[in-house]
Amino acid sequence: MKILVIEDDTATGAYIAEGLREEGHSVDLIASGADGLVQGTIGTYDVMVVDRMLPGLDGMAVVKTLRATGNATPVLFLTAMGGVDDRIEGLHAGADDYLVKPFVFGELSARLAAIGRRPKIQDAPVTLSVADLEMNLLTRKVTRAGQPIDLLPREFALLECLMRRKGRVQTRTMLMETVWDIHYDPLTNVVDTHISRLRAKIDKPFATELIETVRGAGYRIAAP
């Protein structure tokens, strides 16, 4: 993906740019709001990372201006604040997602993958599959190697969330937001417990494990 990063802190900026380049993305790094706005308007990007607090023109103004000119490039806000109000204000200004400092690279990478422009998967797939695991979204039935698996509604939602973005990391925060609609830090590792329940049903009885833990980031489902 082609990514524009607007971040005034050089260390953080370099870290983001370097990490994203390592993952094979093409990155432009800009250190001020005004320059970022110009670059964002003339360039074509798949996704932008914008720091909320920038010298001069701040991140909020940059995104508002871009949106006012009809630019619909997905934007991820980075911020030192992160209360409910900031999140809502940021999303209201036209940002697509929101990440609070300090963050780990895995979280940023996973979120960019989730909001970035990418070839659309078919609009309304009826079945999702990873290796021999199949999920029918209409009948709500899950089978692995032809064997039916009974899932509770939330377990189904959790698995669906992973399978819809197979091969991509889903962070704990992303899973909490999508599956439980929890947009705050619940100070608990209960997501891990839910994942281990899910694993007990879809991985343990079988030879290979499909759900993979990504240290420092989250979880990913992929064919082994």
Partner 1 sequence: MTLPDRFDRIRSTPLRLTIILTLIFAVAALGCFTTAYGVVRANLNAAILSDLRQTVATFRQEGEPDELLERLTEAVRVTDPSYRILHYLPDSGPVISNAGDIAPISGTVTLAGDSLGPTDGALAESYLALSARVGAGQLIVGQSRRAIIEMSEIFAAVVLMGLLPAMLIAGLAGLWIARRAQDRIGAIQDALGAMTGGDSTARVRGIAAGNDDLSGIGQAVNAMATAQEALIVTLRQVSTDIAHDLRTPIQRVSVLLDRMARGADLPPAQKTLLLQAQDETTRIGRTFQALLQLAQVEGGAARDRLVPVDLVGVARDVVEFLDVDAETQGLSLTAALPASATVTGDRQLLSQVMVNLIQNAMLHGAEGQTVHLAIATCGPVVTLTVSDHGPGIPADERAKVLRRLYRLDRSRTTPGNGLGLAMVKAVCDLHRARLTLEDNAPGLSVRIAFPPVSADVGTTAQRPHLAQ
Please report how close the Cβ of residue 95 comes to partner 1 at its closest, in angstroms.
10
Q: Which of 21, 38, 92, 145 binds partner 1 (CB under 8 A)?
A: 92
Residue 66 touching partner 1 (CB under 8 A): no
How many residues of this chain interact with partner 1, rule: CB under 8 A? 36
Interface segment toward partner 1; rule CB under 8 A; list 83-91, 117-125, 141-149, 163-171: 83-91
54 close to 33: Cβ distance less than 8 angstroms: yes
Nearest residue (CB) to partner 1, 12 versus 143? 12
Residues 21-50 touching partner 1, rule: CB under 8 A, are none
Please report how close the Cβ of residue 79 comes to partner 1 at its closest, in angstroms.
9
Residue 154 touching partner 1 (CB under 8 A): yes
β-pairing, 75-79 vs 47-51, is: parallel
86 close to 47: Cβ distance less than 8 angstroms: no
Look at phi and psi of residue 56 and say left if phi exceeds 0, alpha if psi is from -120 to 50, else beta.
left
CA nearest neighbour of 73 among 81, 62, 89? 62
Q: Give phi and psi for 129, each to the nearest 5.
A: -145, 145
Residue 56 touching partner 1 (CB under 8 A): no
Q: Which of 24, 42, 68, 84 binds partner 1 (CB under 8 A)?
A: 84
Residues of 120-135 as b/e, b for ≥16 C-beta within 10 angstroms? eeeeeeeebebeebbb
Per CB under 8 A, residues contacting partner 1 are 9, 11-12, 15, 53, 80-86, 88, 91-92, 100-105, 154, 180-188, 190, 193-194, 197, 216
